[in-house]
Amino acid sequence: MSTLRVDSLRGQTADGTNRYVVQVVEFTEATDYSTASGSYTQGPQTSTFTLKYPTSKVLVTANFLGLAVTTGSYNGGRFAIYRGSIASGTKITSGSEPQLLSYSQEIWAWQTLQKLDTPTGDTTYSIGFNKHSNASFCKIMGAYGNTVITMMEIAQ
């Protein structure tokens, strides 16, 4: 058996800037969220992520099981990462996608969202979601497969 111990993981970018991982925090939740709205709805939200350095960036990765259902010809759901809550935060993934889309009555699929964020201080992260106009509803299925949001602080 081998053991590898690392005090810090450092890398140098093409411009010569040193960057390294300061901390990694994982949020896990087993709650289902559902919406029949075409507007972004509050999904899972992390506790406050406290930066060790004020100039750090945060690599946010969300992994969760999405579900969309319709009685029509196709359906879908849209998911996004927010800094803060859906009501008062900022959507940090661009556009209205990625979109879970199916030309059948129901689809379940694992979704992964990732964004390198530049927060202005300690923050929370949320998953916002809504249904496609042809869908009956959209869900985040935390009870079937835990929702995991990983926050990695990267020093600049």
User: Which pLDDT score is estimated for 51?
Assistant: 97
Amino acid at 5: R
Q: Is the pLDDT of residue 3 over 70?
A: no
Q: pLDDT tier at 14 (50, 70, 90 boundaries)? A: low
Rounded to an integer, what distance in angstroms lies between the CA atom of residue 110 and that of residue 93? 17
- Confirm if 113 and 62 have CB atoms less than 8 A apart: yes
3: in domain: no
Residue 11: strand pairing partners: 19
37: in domain: yes
pLDDT digits (tens, 9 = 90+) for 16-66: 667 799 999 999 999 999 999 999 999 999 999 999 999 999 999 999 999
Q: What CATH number is attached to the domain comprising 43?
A: 2.60.120
- Stretch 78-85: mean pLDDT: 96
21: in domain: no
What's the first-to-final CA gap in the chain, in angstroms?
35
Domain carrying residue 47 = 31-155
Higher pLDDT, 11 or 115: 115
66: in domain: yes
Rounded to an integer, what distance in angstroms lies between the CA atom of residue 101 and that of residue 155? 37
20: in domain: no
Of these ranges, 75-79, 87-91, 102-106, the one predicted with the greatest mean pLDDT is: 87-91
130: in domain: yes
- Stretch 111-115: mean pLDDT: 95
50: in domain: yes
User: Which pLDDT score is estimated for 65?
Assistant: 96
> How many structural domains compose the chain?
1
14: in domain: no
User: Which pLDDT score is estimated for 11?
Assistant: 58
Q: Is the pLDDT of residue 10 over 70?
A: no
Rounded to an integer, what distance in angstroms lies between the CA atom of residue 42 and that of residue 87? 8
